[in-house]
């Protein structure tokens, strides 16, 4: 799911009160996944946060995990299972999402390597997206040093995406953290609020995600 779509989903949930589940993953008719033991819980994000699985958040087919800079991520074909949730809290503009993906053997390592390559080679012009309804986007990515609470080979980045949608210029900056344990990749995405608040939350949530990965 695109970052813009995630922001719209969170905003709608706050307005309509459709978010549920204070701790744990929101209910669904889909079979329970082993990834539910790894994905962040609301209490790990912060007080009074609630969680919901995004539309399509339990599916692999027809859903995208990695999509930036027009890069072709071959690791997408090696995904076996995924779970993506969003967290919101009334009274804050911060939106947090955690996506955990199980790959076939070696796939998570390939995914991290491809992310690093995409950052290094990212064009400075609009690039098409694999996501329907998302316009060509220009990416500005700064790779940041991980702190000691995160796992080895973690990728931390500040990402600004900009483009034209329905005749209007749009731009969004997020902090994104990818880390791996075995064949499971966790991505933490944080938007909204001040830049300081976004970065602080990204580091906090990613440290909790690292603990979940280490315990699995």
| Residues 6+ away with beta carbon under 8 Å from 118 | 66, 68, 69, 71, 73
Give pLDDT tens digits for 112-127.
Answer: 999 999 999 999 999 9
Give pLDDT tens digits for 185-214.
Answer: 999 999 999 999 999 999 999 999 999 999
Q: Which of 204, 189, 180 is nearest to 158 (CA)?
A: 189
Domain of residue 43 covers 3-215
> Hey, which bits of the chain come out as E strands?
50-53, 79-88, 95-103, 138-144, 155-165, 168-181, 184-191
| Residues 6+ away with beta carbon under 8 Å from 142 | 157, 158
| Residues 6+ away with beta carbon under 8 Å from 172 | 3, 4, 7, 160, 161, 162, 191
Domain count, the chain: 1
The answer to whether the CB of 79 falls within 8 A of the CB of 51 is no
User: CATH no. for residue 41?
Assistant: 3.40.1000
- Say whether pTM exceeds 0.85: yes
* Band of pLDDT at residue 19, cut at 50, 70 and 90: very low
The answer to whether the CB of 2 falls within 8 A of the CB of 9 is no
**141 bridge partner residues:** 159
Give pLDDT tens digits for 22-38.
Answer: 455 654 445 567 899 99
* Band of pLDDT at residue 182, cut at 50, 70 and 90: very high
């Amino acid at each position: 799911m695109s970052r813009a779509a995630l922001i719209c989903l969170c905003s709608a949930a706050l307005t309509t009160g459709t978010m549920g589940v204070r701790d744990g993953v929101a209910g669904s008719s889909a079979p329970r996944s082993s990834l539910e033991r790894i994905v962040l819980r609301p209490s790990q994000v912060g007080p009074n946060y609630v969680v919901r699985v995004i539309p399509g958040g339990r599916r692999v087919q027809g859903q995208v995990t990695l999509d930036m800079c027009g890069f072709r991520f071959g690791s997408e074909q090696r995904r076996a299972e995924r779970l993506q949730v969003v967290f919101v809290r009334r009274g804050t503009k911060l939106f947090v999402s955690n996506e955990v993906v199980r790959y076939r053997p070696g796939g998570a390592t390939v995914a991290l390597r491809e992310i690093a390559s995409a950052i290094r080679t990212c064009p400075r012009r609009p690039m098409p997206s694999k996501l329907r309804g998302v316009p060509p986007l220009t990416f500005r990515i700064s790779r940041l040093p991980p702190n000691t609470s995160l796992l080895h080979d973690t990728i931390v980045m500040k990402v600004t995406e900009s483009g034209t949608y329905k005749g209007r210029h749009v731009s969004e900056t997020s902090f994104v953290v990818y880390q791996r344990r075995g064949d499971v990749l966790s991505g933490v995405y944080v938007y909204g609020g001040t830049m300081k608040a976004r970065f602080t939350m990204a580091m906090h949530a990613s440290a909790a995600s690292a603990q979940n990965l280490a315990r699995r």
